[in-house]
Structure 1
Amino acid sequence: MSKQIRFNAFEMNCIAHQSPGLWRHPQDRSTEYKDLNYWTDLAKILERGKFDGVFIADVLGIYDVYHDSAEHALTGAVQVPVNDPLQIVPAMAAVTEHLGFGVTTSISFEHPYPFARRMSTLDHLTKGRAGWNIVTSYLESGSKNLGLKTQVTHDERYDIADEYLEVLYKLWEGSWEDTAVLRDKQRGIFADHTKVHPIHHHGKYFNVPGIHICEPSPQRTPVLYQAGASARGQRFASQNAECVFISAPTKVAVKKLTEGIRHNLVQHGRSENDVLIYTMLSIVVDETDEKAQAKFAEYQGYGSYDGGLTLASGWSGIDFSQFKPTDQVEYIQTNAIQSMLRSYVEADPHKIWTIEEIARWTSVGGNGPVIVGSPSTVADRLQEWVDETGIDGFNLAYILAHQTFEDIVEYVIPELQRRGVYQTEYRKGTLREKLFGRGARLDSKHRGAQYRHLHNQQNTQFETERLNA
């Protein structure tokens, strides 16, 4: 029997997320993305389907690599316009009890001190159901609009991220002791000031001397998601991530990424099962295989060739318009998502991709595969993916909003539950407790846990410095 299968919904606060062109379909609702009802309706659908959470992508920039222009991104609504991901979460939390929320924000575009407050606030408002997808940002356009002349190199972005996380761990885990908050109305003491500590961080990239200005939230540190699959990204994930999101077009490529991630975990003193790995995938399902195939054929008729290459060019940093449609895809080193091109070029020796094939593939379902069929067929395929690649679950990208998720909840989940490989009830507690079945706080082996007794470490350091003076 296969192990339990987990689902996240892969979303973005925009119109055309992973399937450019499908917003034109008469059943698609994604042009309603500006309305709160759109998001609360989605949250209710996902909670009815016992999804772990909704994973909300984000970019602060525009896909202007294709033809060195923003034309196709704007005309096709390819992840632009795009609104802020955090602001829709409280509304979705208000209409659900269990659904988790993994929001994407970049370490490249916001100082860690105000960001720590934003995430603590979100964790409070969701009663401990907040997660953070750590990204370093790959779009040159986003860097330029924040005053940077060029994008920081790929590996240095992760060096910055290492220190960024250190600052956050000190704020979330170490600034307030567990017994600092008293709420003593009789004595008029809300917090014991001797148990709230400045973090005194002075590093290469950040200087943060003060305290965290939020009281500890239910999880303190939100559940940590990470999506970098390059060698440097995997090393970062092995030290920080609790859930890893990967994306590749074939099982061979996904298995290779999964094995690399689990190997890195062990190399850094963690168990290979300390993280949950979700791969991106889309599902087209109907009562029968024939109906599902007809539905998929209809969807493909709405897919945008230029939209697909707009995404692929932005992800890879390569302008695919300079090549012929029949040209074979080759690996080129860039400062964008390095693992994206590797997943096409190096991961599966039995598959050679052309530019045209990538355009058609990406236009319906993005960089992940699409499983098409009846509930039984889809369930069989999902179990094969889990058994053969070692993943824990799927980050499901919609093709039609919200019809894709309605279909999954109606057809696929009951079949998986019947087979005993999908949860029928949520665990109690915070998002971390629901995912891992243990406490609300970071695991004691996690990198962030070492900062829990920051005040003791600082006192020892100050005493050592005094004695050596």
Structure 2
Amino acid sequence: MAKTIRFNAFQMNSVGHQSPGLWTHARDRSHRYTDPAHWTELAQLLEAGLFDAVFLADVLGVYDVYRGSLDAALEHGVQVPLNDPLALVPIMAQATTHLGFGVTCALTYEHPYTFARRISTLDHLTGGRIGWNIVTGYLDSAARNLGLSQQLGHDERYDLADEYLDVVYKLWEKSWDDDAVVNDKARGIYADPARVHPINHAGRHYQVPGIHLCEPSPQRTPLLYQAGTSPRGTRFAARHAEATFVSGPSKTVVKRYADDLRAAVRQSGRDGDALLIYAQALVITGATEEEARAKHTSYLRHVNIEAALVLLSGWTGVDFSRYPLDATIDYIDSPAGRSALASFSQADPDRTWTVREAAEYIGLGGRGPVLVGDARQVADQLESWLDETGIDGFNLAFAVAHDSMADVVAHIVPELQRRGRYRTRYEEGSLRHKVFGQGPRLPADHAGRLVSIAPAADALAAA
């Protein structure tokens, strides 16, 4: 039986996200990102399209690698100004019933004790529809503004992240028993102290002796997303992730990521096939192929090459202002640059990419494919990507807000439903129910369910 195709909507609480320069398009409404109605309209649109979730990206710094300055990022609206994604969740949840919310939060710069409370609060307020995209951060500008000279090394960030997850698992899963809240008005007892436990965590990075401040939320632990595909990131995903997000310009690249992730999950003792993998993509469609291709042509005219290079420089740590636009990967001798551009050469080993071509490629929808055509043509492409790579769905970027998502809902969703490749209704219950058909708790074999709380005396000895 053919696998059902799943959609998330890839968004950011900013004027510019993954299509640098497209905010200048006459039909784009991204400048309304400070208006609550902008987000409630999007949430209701996505729910009408039966999307799994709106996936909210975030960074805590600015893209200041290009020319060693943030001026170009400010001038072109490259993910700045940028508002807090978590603040959007109650607004959109109030306007919907089923849509999930995957929020990106960089654990490197927020203490797990306060973060656990914030997520539990959102899980309560959404009726169990919250997910967390676990990231460690990649911008040195964020580290500097939070009191560090630079961010921790790549693998060290993941070492810290493993302990961070242990702390929040203990708070979410172990601090309050299921029956701790008795709400006994006659006896005047709300919570039974014997059923609420301090976690007594004493580790290398964190000391958290007390209880979780929140009573258990519908899911306890949010649905866990993760996006790392480095060897260390893959090992982290194998232990923690329920769903992952990958991006690559070809089926070959995406299939390699998917195969590696599932193999790592199996090696960890979990079911690799249960991991959901979403690949980034941009869909440009319309009532006819001619209409879709006209939109694509129009969008290309608004791609800003310098803004795309600001993004690419921030992602890689390489200042691409130092290279001519016709320079090829072979002429870029920075190891970071070779690594960042490797996915382009892997997509077509016989092709040499120039800096301009890489900028033009990410100028529409980031590092994923751009699928253009009428509903039938795009559905064919989506099926091909899913069936040939082993992924489960797509994190759909947008070119123009909210037209890109509206076109998917109006044209692509009905076509996929006619083919039996897309859901026709939501499951009831939490986000985990809707995504996995079970829940609302983490699976019993997940690391978050297997953590244990040390007695206070043992915790003191370990410290």
Could you say which TM-score interval applies, normalised by the shorter chain? over 0.9
In 1, distance between residues paired with 2:348 and 2:127? Answer: 43
Q: What is the CA deviation profile of residues 185-243 of structure 1, one whole-angstrom value per residue up to 9, with x for unaligned ones?
A: 11000011011001010101110000001000000000000011111101100100011
1:119-134 map, 5 Å: 119-134=119-134
Q: CA RMSD in A?
A: 1.7
Q: Give the structure 1 partner of residue 389 of structure 2.
A: 389
Q: How does 1:391-406 map to 2 (within 5 A)?
A: 391-406=391-406
| 1:233 maps to 2:240 | no
Cα separation, partners in 2 of 1:347 and 1:406, compared to 1, 3 Å: closer
**Equivalent residue number for residue 282 of structure 1:** 282
Whichever residue aligns with residue 111 of structure 2, its letter is H
Q: How does 1:109-258 map to 2 (within 5 A)?
A: 109-258=109-258
Q: C-alpha separation between the residues in 2 aligned to 1:267 and 1:281?
A: 29
1:253–1:348 Cα contact (<8 Å) kept: no
Q: Which letter does structure 2 place at the counterpart of 1:166?
A: D
**Residues 18/424 of structure 1: CA separation in 2 closer, same or farther (3 Å cut):** same
Contact 1:248–1:340 at 8 Å: present in 2 too?
no
Deviation at 1:348, TM superposition (A): 4.7
Task: State the distance in 2 between where 1:194 and 1:88 align.
Answer: 36
What SS does the corresponding residue of 1:18 show, helix, strand or coil? coil
Tell me the secondary structure at the aligned position of residue 108 of structure 1.
helix
Cα distance in structure 1, aligned partners of 2:346 and 2:67: 25
| C-alpha separation in 1, matches of 2:305 and 2:229 | 26
Once the 2 structures are TM-superposed, how far is the Cα of residue 462 of structure 1 from its aligned partner?
Answer: 5.9
Matched position secondary structure for 2:236: helix
CA contact (8 A) 1:7 1:394 kept: yes
Cα shift at 1:317: 1.2
Is the 8 Å Cα contact of residues 229 and 339 (structure 1) preserved in structure 2? no
Letter in 2 for 1:74: L
What one-letter code is carried by the residue in structure 1 that aligns with 2:141? S
Is the CA contact (8 Å cut-off) linking 2:18 and 2:363 kept in structure 1?
Answer: yes
Q: Distance in 1 between matches of 2:207 and 2:327?
A: 49
- Are the equivalent residues in 2 in contact too, given 1:331–1:345 (CA < 8 A)? no
Distance 2:94 2:348 in 1: 44
Q: Distance in 1 between matches of 2:378 and 2:409?
A: 13
What do residues 347-380 of structure 1 show as CA deviations (whole Å, max 9, x unaligned)? 6534432111111111111111110000000000
| Distance change in 2, residues 1:32/1:289 (3 Å) | same
Alignment-mate amino acid for residue 58 of structure 2: D
Identity of aligned residues (%): 53
Aligned to 2:55: 55
Q: Is the 8 A contact 1:19 1:366 kept in 2?
A: yes
Contact 2:249 2:347 in 1 (8 A): no
Maintained 8 Å contact 2:325/2:356 = yes
Amino acid of the structure 1 residue aligned with 2:254: V
Runs of 5+ in structure 1 lacking a partner? none
TM-aligned CA deviation for residue 340 of structure 1:
4.2
Deviation at 1:287, TM superposition (A): 1.5
3-state SS of paired residue (1:8): strand
1:294 counterpart = 2:294: yes
Distance in 1 of aligned mates of 2:458 and 2:160: 27
Q: Distance in 1 between matches of 2:127 and 2:340?
A: 35
- Give the structure 2 partner of residue 29 of structure 1: 29
CA contact (8 A) 1:252 1:348 kept: no
Distance 1:354 1:162 in 2: 38
The aligned residue for residue 442 of structure 1 is 442
Change (3 A) 1:224 1:6: same
Matched, 1:306 2:297: no
> Per-residue deviation at 1:313?
0.9
Find the aligned partners of 1:61 and 1:258 in 2 and give their Cα distance.
29
Matched ranges for 1:315-354 at <5 A: 315-329=315-329, 332-334=334-336, 340-346=340-346, 348-354=348-354
* Larger CA deviation: 352-361 vs 99-108: 352-361
Structure 2 gaps of 5+ residues are none
Q: 1:232 to 1:342 in 2, by over 3 A?
A: farther
* Secondary structure of 2:133 counterpart: strand
Summarize the alignment of residues 66-145 of structure 1 with structure 2, pairs less than 5 Å apart: 66-145=66-145
Report the Cα offset of residue 324 of structure 1: 1.6
- CA separation in 1, counterparts of 2:335 and 2:198? 42
Maintained 8 Å contact 1:249/1:344? yes
Partner of 2:377: 377
Cα deviation for residue 49 of structure 1 reads 0.1
Alignment check: 8 A CA contact 1:230 1:339 kept: no
CA contact (8 A) 1:279 1:395 kept: yes
TM-score computed with the length of structure 1 as normaliser? 0.95
Letter aligned with residue 281 of structure 2:
L
C-alpha distance in structure 1 between counterparts of 2:447 and 2:200, whole Å: 19
Distance (Å, rounded) in 1 between the aligned partners of 2:69 and 2:250? 30
Greater mean alpha carbon deviation, residues 32-41 or residues 346-355 = 346-355
Code of the residue aligned with 1:51 in structure 2: it is: F
1:83-122 residue CA offsets vs partner (Å, 9 max, x unmatched): 0000011010001000000001101110000000000000
- Whether contact under 8 Å (1:14, 1:81) holds in the other structure is yes
CA contact (8 A) 1:62 1:73 kept: yes
1:331 to partner: Cα distance: 7.7
- Give the corresponding residue for 2:360: 360
Q: How does the TM-score come out when normalised to structure 2?
A: 0.96
Task: Please tell me whether the aligned partners of residues 443 and 449 of structure 2 are also in contact (alpha carbons under 8 angstroms).
Answer: yes
After superposition, give the CA deviation of every residue in 1:397-442 in whole Å (9 maximum; x if it has no partner): 0100000011110011000000000000001110011111112000
Amino acid at match of 1:436: F
Per the alignment, in what secondary structure is the counterpart of residue 87 of structure 2?
helix
Distance in structure 2 (CA, Å) of the matches to 1:331 and 1:256: 25
| Runs of 4 or more consecutive aligned structure 1 residues displaced over 3 Å after TM superposition | 330-334, 338-342, 345-348
